[in-house]
Structures are given as C-alpha cells and as structure tokens.
Amino acid sequence: MKIVKTIDEVRQQVREWRKQGLTVGLVPTMGYLHEGHASLIEASHRDNDRTVVSDFVNPMQFAPTEDLESYPRDIEHDAKIVEEHGGDIIFNPEPSEMYHEGFSSFVDMTVLTQELCGISRPIHFRGVCTVVSKLFNIVKPDKAYFGKKDAQQLAVIRHMVDDLNMDIEIIGCPIIREEDGLAKSSRNTYLNDDERKAALVLSQAVSIGINLVRNGETSCEIILDAMKNHINAEPLARIDYVKMVDCRTMQQIPVLDRPALCAMAVYIGKTRLIDNFFTEDV
C-alpha cells in the first residue's frame, strides 16, 4: 500500500492496472478514517481488483465559518486502516495540487442541493460535486463508494453522474454505528463527554421514526413531530432540520406514498451531526 501525493502518480498507477486488465474502485474520503470508511474500502476491495482511497480535506466544500482548519487529520492512522481493509493506494494531495492558481471551473447542481443540508450549507454541494468530478476524472474508476450517512450527498452524486453521463457505478453503503447507536463520523471527535451522551438523541430519534413507519404510520408530520419532540427534550441539542423527502428528488413530502428519506441535522453544542433512515430499508 502506498501514499501518493500527485495526480500524475495516481494516473500512472491506474494506467498500469488498466494495462493488466484490472478493475478499479474509488473510495473518496476526507481522511481521519473510521469503521464507516473501512466498510467502504472493504466493499470496494470485494468488488474490484484494485482500490484507490482519496484522502483530501476539500477546502471548497467548507464555508468560511465552518471547521476546515480544525477538521481532524492523521495520515499515518489512515494508512493503517486502508492497508488493513484492502485498499491499494491512498491519494493524499495538497490543496494546491487539486486547485492550481487560477482554478475557475465548477460543477454545480440545482434542486437536489436546495433542501436539507443545502439550506444551512449553501456552497457545500458545489464543492463536493466539483471535487468528486475531479477525482472521477483523475482515477477513472469503474465503481465509487459513498456512505448512506451522507444521504443527500449520495443522491446528489448519483444525479450528477446521471446528468453528466459519467460512466461510473455509484455504490451506496449502510451507515456504520457505535455500539450505542451513534452514527460513526470524524466529527464525533469534537464531542466532550456530556455532548457524546447527548448526541444519542439523533439515533434514538431515528429509531422512533423507524418504529412509527414499521407500525404503518404514513403522516410525515406525525413521524417528524415525534422525532423532534425527542430531540428537543435534550438541552444540549439544537435542531437544524428533521425532514421527510422523496429519496430521489430530495423534495419534502407530506405523506409516505413513495420511497422516502427521513434526514436530520442537529447541533450538539457547536458540533453539527447528521443521521437518517430510508423508508425502503425499514
């Protein structure tokens, strides 16, 4: 397993693999890898002959008020995880390698990015679509792997690949949780002990929603109110949103009459966490 820093090195390696007739999977990450990322690497290792893991904290998807500077980074720890789970190379470029001076081309999307996280993070998905397009152009993978925890990101990337005729299969992988239910996230490291306990309201609200759907409830208002009441009872929690949307268009729906995504973003102290469930998985 090797770490490469330049676009030329990744391209060279992928070209060699292609000459040997090998298939290539890509796992895009921002590093500080945890079991959630490990499951994506394992899925790629299972499906493809070779796996590239990109490890790049993408400045373009952070607003000036967000946590770009404090976002955790540890390439040695990441290298161990990638090696243990079957990755073949880590692509770990500097921002200047990805965005040269004068960089001025962007991939943007309307509609799907204007709901959920797109409301409080208006520039986020433009940064995600741009960097993921660049990674797709650099690696040219057969398949690319994304976690369902970032459910809107997954929908946006699927839509982008479809809109722009990118010849890449997008694979969505299940949310990986801590034993007590908290969805794994690099941002969980920001939580102090009290916040860590309080953060359980997200997965507990997910369970409340799932149980209501399992019991046949179809009113989104009833489901969302039950979830919000649970979260609001926790003093350290502040809801950004809890919404039910059409899982393809990301537009809000009043009744569960189609496959839906129930998604939330909640501040625990200063840390913004997300969680969700798809009604199809219930």
CA distance to 17, 27, 28, 103, 110, per residue, from 49 (Å):
9, 14, 17, 33, 35
Nearby residues of 267 by Cβ (< 8 Å), 6 or more positions away: 237, 238, 239, 240, 273
Contact criterion met (CB below 8 Å) for 145 and 43: yes
| Interface pick for ligand PAF out of 13, 48, 58, 152 (rule CB under 6 A) | 58
Beta bridge partners of 272: 267
3-state secondary structure of 256: coil
Which among 48, 9, 1 is positioned nearest to 25, based on CA atoms?
A: 48
- Rule CB under 6 A: is residue 92 a binding residue for ligand PAF? no
- Rule CB under 6 A: is residue 132 a binding residue for ligand PAF? yes
Q: List the 24-29 sheet strands across, edge first.
A: 2-4, 89-91, 50-55, 24-29, 143-147, 169-173
Nearer to ligand PAF, 93 or 220 (CB): 93
- Rule CB under 6 A: is residue 170 a binding residue for ligand PAF? no
Which among 228, 222, 173, 175 is positioned nearest to 204, based on CA atoms?
A: 228
The nearest distance, CB 124 to ligand PAF, in angstroms, is 8
- Rule CB under 6 A: is residue 128 a binding residue for ligand PAF? yes
37 is catalytic: yes
Spot the catalytic one: 34, 37, 85, 159. Answer: 37
Single out the segment in contact with ligand PAF by CB under 6 A; choices: 28-36, 44-52, 194-202, 244-252: 28-36
| Interface pick for ligand PAF out of 78, 115, 150, 195 (rule CB under 6 A) | 150
The nearest distance, CB 16 to ligand PAF, in angstroms, is 25
Query: Which residues from 98-127 bind ligand PAF, rule CB under 6 A?
Result: none
Contact criterion met (CB below 8 Å) for 90 and 1: yes
The nearest distance, CB 102 to ligand PAF, in angstroms, is 21
The nearest distance, CB 186 to ligand PAF, in angstroms, is 8
- Rule CB under 6 A: is residue 36 a binding residue for ligand PAF? no
What are the residues binding ligand PAF (CB under 6 A)? 28-30, 58, 61, 128, 131-132, 150, 153
- Which active-site residues does the annotation give? 37
